[in-house]
Amino acid sequence: MGEAIKQVGVIGAGTMGIGIAEVAASHGQQVVLYDAQEGFAEQAMAQLQERLKKRAFKGKISQEQITEWLARIELVDDLAHFSACDLVVEAITEDLAIKQALFKQLEIITSSLALLATNTSSISITAIAAGMQDPSRLFGLHFFNPAPVMKLVELVSGLLTDQAHIEQATAICKSWKKIPVKTQSSPGFIVNRVARAYYGEPLKMCQEQLLGHRQIDAIMSEAAGFRMGPFELMDLIGIDINYAVSQTVYQAMHNDPRFRPSLIQQEMVHANTLGRKTGQGFYSHAEGAAKPKPEYIHSDAEFDLLTVPEEMTHFSRMFCEFEHDQRKWKGDEVVVSGCRIKPTDGRLAKDLEVALNGPVCLVDLSFDYLNSQSVNVCFSPGVNQFMRNRIVALFNHMGKQVMVCPDQPAMVALRTIAMLVNEAADAVFNGVCSARDVDLAMRYGVNYPKGLLAFAEELGWSQIAQALEHLHQWFGDDRYRLSPYIRNLA
């Protein structure tokens, strides 16, 4: 059905609008582009031309393609030019009243068969459609920045949206080689709802003085396997933008503590330390400023060799090269110099030491233990210096840097990932989207290494459930309440 769309209208020639225009033009559609500010659309076209030239220089596209694509984009100075569009995508300022006014005009100007979509990232589709004569026409077509690069598009249904339009939009997105996911209009849709935990939980750990932001970034990227640490990412997004989205989602969720914004971020907004754009955020982005190094511990001690069990788990696969010695294995546990090395399940190391009647070294969660560059560990009080050295030496020998964190429930990566999984699960539980779509959304909208629900399944739901229950007990905060979706599976 994507082929039936011949002409696409884009309103707003800002960051998103020009990107969406490029997507359509590069897939053979005629584009009409309008911006209310005089000269903005011309400026955006000039920038697009520069961007395309750079891509041609790298050999990614040809000069002919650039000429063809640009020729397909027509700049217009009046909405009347949208009358022949088969699809109109609005990408103007994020303001309910302005968007409502625009769609009231558009439904009159366009044919009744034309698809009308908004690229809003935070406003309810139902609310925008409320001013229209036919609210069933509007849906959200939520691209991610940069639109030509990011694969994900969220197709958002308002309460009254006609599902036939969503089906048509799905076909169009596929013809653009995008990955469409379906979601109901609810705060943050999928990505901006679920991803809140990736910022909120690390910010809370920083506030609690558990660790500094540099160390948490290193744990989340080098050990857990995310492409970027949460604080580096917030600096990139802009602290003000990230804080505004957090506030919007929190308020729209009627102050659910799971989405409570951080006071650290609020202070940074007051101080105008907004990340890369102001030269200072969590890190200095001044010319020549070097990023501080995380703290690692090393040991040149002898390391103990291990035996690999018949059935390796997500955790024990990490030790698979150590097949030579006769050390005893039991499930997810490696014993080195009398100390058990175990993946964290959310309990404190000191409690486990009592329960197991022996010292314990807990290892934080990783999407890929085998290939991770680092491990984050925590020692119970009974781990002596000799054991510590042996354990650190073993990890160093495996080519991994070792970071140590204080003994707190669920450590750093498990705590954050458990909160992410809980949110993903709760979105499905509440009918926001399907399990398949929440996983696709997080993989292609924010580049998570795996789908969150698929990963929880691989890991065992009980590990996520236990982590959340320990956190809930420890903090006494409803923020950590377990989604019934997980309770059912665990």
Name the residues that contact ligand NAD, by CB under 6 A: 11-17, 34-37, 40, 91-94, 98, 102, 119-121, 143, 145
User: Which C-beta is closer to ligand NAD: that of 78 or that of 311?
Assistant: 78
Q: Given the complex with ligand NAD, which of 14 and 382 has the nearer CB atom?
A: 14
Q: How many CB atoms lie within 10 A of CB 94?
A: 14
- Between 154 and 332, name the residue whose CB sits nearer to ligand NAD: 154
Q: How far apart are CA 13 and CA 21, in angstroms?
A: 9
H or E element in which residue 39 lies = none
Task: State the Cα angle at 211 between 359 and 225, rounded to 5°.
Answer: 80
* Phi, psi torsion values for 213, nearest 5 degrees: -65, -35
d(CA 456, CA 433): 17
The residue count for the chain: 490
76 or 335: CB nearest ligand NAD: 76
In the complex, minimum distance from the CB of residue 201 to ligand NAD, in angstroms, rounded to a whole number:
22
**Least distance (Å) between residue 233 CB and ligand NAD:** 13
Query: Is residue 154 flagged as an active site residue?
Result: yes
If the CB atoms of residues 119 and 396 are measured against ligand NAD, the closer one turns out to be 119
Residue with tokens 């940069």: 146
Structure token digits, residue 226: 């995310």
- We find the least distance from the C-beta atom of residue 8 to ligand NAD, in angstroms, to be 15
* 302 included as an active-site residue: no
Closest CA to 382 of 408, 364, 362: 362
CB of 92 to ligand NAD, least distance (A): 4
**d(C-alpha 126, C-alpha 199), whole Å:** 28
Question: Which is nearer to ligand NAD, 252 or 454 (by Cβ)?
Answer: 252
**How far apart are CB 448 and ligand NAD at their closest, in Å?**
18
**What three-state secondary structure class fits 286?**
coil
Active site residue 423: no
Rounded Cα gap, residues 105 and 88, in angstroms:
12
Q: Minimal distance in Å, beta carbon 310 to ligand NAD? A: 49
CB of 437 to ligand NAD, least distance (A): 18
Tell me which of 121, 372, 374, 380 is the catalytic residue: 121
Q: Which residue is nearest to ligand NAD (CB)?
A: 14
The one catalytic residue in 90, 107, 154, 423 is 154
Between 118 and 408, whose beta carbon lies closer to ligand NAD?
118
Question: Of these residues, 119, 185, 192, 299, which one is catalytic?
Answer: 192
Cα separation, 75 vs 63, in Å, equals 21
Locate 453 and state its tokens. Answer: 């629900």
Token pair 């999928």 in the structure block, residue:
190
Residue 447 CA neighbour count, 13 Å, CB half: 12
User: Number of C-alpha atoms within 13 angstroms, CB side, residue 103?
Assistant: 33
In whole angstroms, give the CA distance from residue 390 to residue 336. Answer: 7
Residue 420 Cβ vs ligand NAD, minimum distance, rounded to whole Å: 20
Alpha helical stretches, state H, 357-406: 385-397
Which CB, 16 or 365, lies closer to ligand NAD? 16
Q: Which residue in the list 124, 142, 262, 372 is annotated as catalytic? A: 142
Crossing angle for the helix pair 63-72 and 15-25, nearest 10 degrees? 110
470 is catalytic: no
Rounded to whole angstroms, how far apart are CA atoms 431 and 445?
20
Question: In whole angstroms, how close is the CB of 144 to ligand NAD at the nearest point?
Answer: 6
CA-based radius of gyration for the chain: 25
How far apart, in whole angstroms, are the C-alpha atoms of residue 224 and residue 238? 23
CB count in 10 Å sphere of residue 221? 20
Q: Which is nearer to ligand NAD, 3 or 95 (CB)?
A: 95
**C-alpha dihedral (83, 86, 88, 89), degrees to nearest 10:** -160
- Sequential DSSP letters for 395-428: HHHTT-EEEE--S-TTTTHHHHHHHHHHHHHHHH
Q: What are 374's strand-pairing partners?
A: 401
Please give the positions annotated as active site: 121, 142, 154, 192
